[in-house]
Structure 1
């Protein structure tokens, strides 16, 4: 398995690159990577072409996967499929860098579900009945089928939730007291007081 920190968004509402913002004296991207590394898996950072030089300065070029130039869409799926194309045999444990409050025990819970039930293509949490695709495990087999759908023009939408509708998904319901760990931060006002 390979950990993938999603950092390649445009961060338009934040006004700056979220992965390079600092919280508790660490970059957001590093905080996410540290959480994935506790699962004893290697970790890479998914970035867009504009971010590549800056992130290489922090993490090294060898730990980056840039958005694949043959893919003509945006969003988290671009980062996930770019990582899949770089390492097609690995299952991917994906974590968005702006899920700042994500707890290790929840990542462990997802990992345990993955180890216990191998029949699924993806392992994610649901919150209030809604899928949370930016913290999840996507198998190489499942991503291969998504890649095939894309290549044959059958993937009509590029949202992660649409992708999940095409996969066999193991869903873990988030308990109410864990709801706050799935909030993503999109503005400076949202992170004030953390």
Structure 2
């Protein structure tokens, strides 16, 4: 339970404000000694809005990141009401270890404060009494409700979760283009 967490304080005079945060881990390919792709530790970032009380947060997530075994994890949200937002970085198991983690936070307004520390106690979740002060700004982290187990990382499919490759492109060639033009155009 020594997972990192980050507190972002957005003053009321700095809204509306967009916040984008990323957690990056050391690229395991940098220490490769043999062929193969070492798998990164999946990191799940969740953003909670603070409600009244010292350790009390809304049970409605503002947003979350994808939970994939890739190097980076990110969240993006738009703040419409000043307040405090907690980003919790969760690892898949208590024995998981991340080497050299980097946290980056970008805000569209000045005076946004960010603090980092280790989680020392569980946070309490409560039903909010007012509308949320922030909303998700990205489709990252969206899942079908019945899609995957929310308590486990999503497995990576290297055929579909990779960069675009030339073999994915359709090679229609010039003949298909000439045929399409001849079908669509009429000569008078």
How does the TM-score come out when normalised to structure 2? 0.25
Higher relative contact order (CA 8 A, sep 6+): 2
Q: Which has the larger radius of gyration?
A: 2
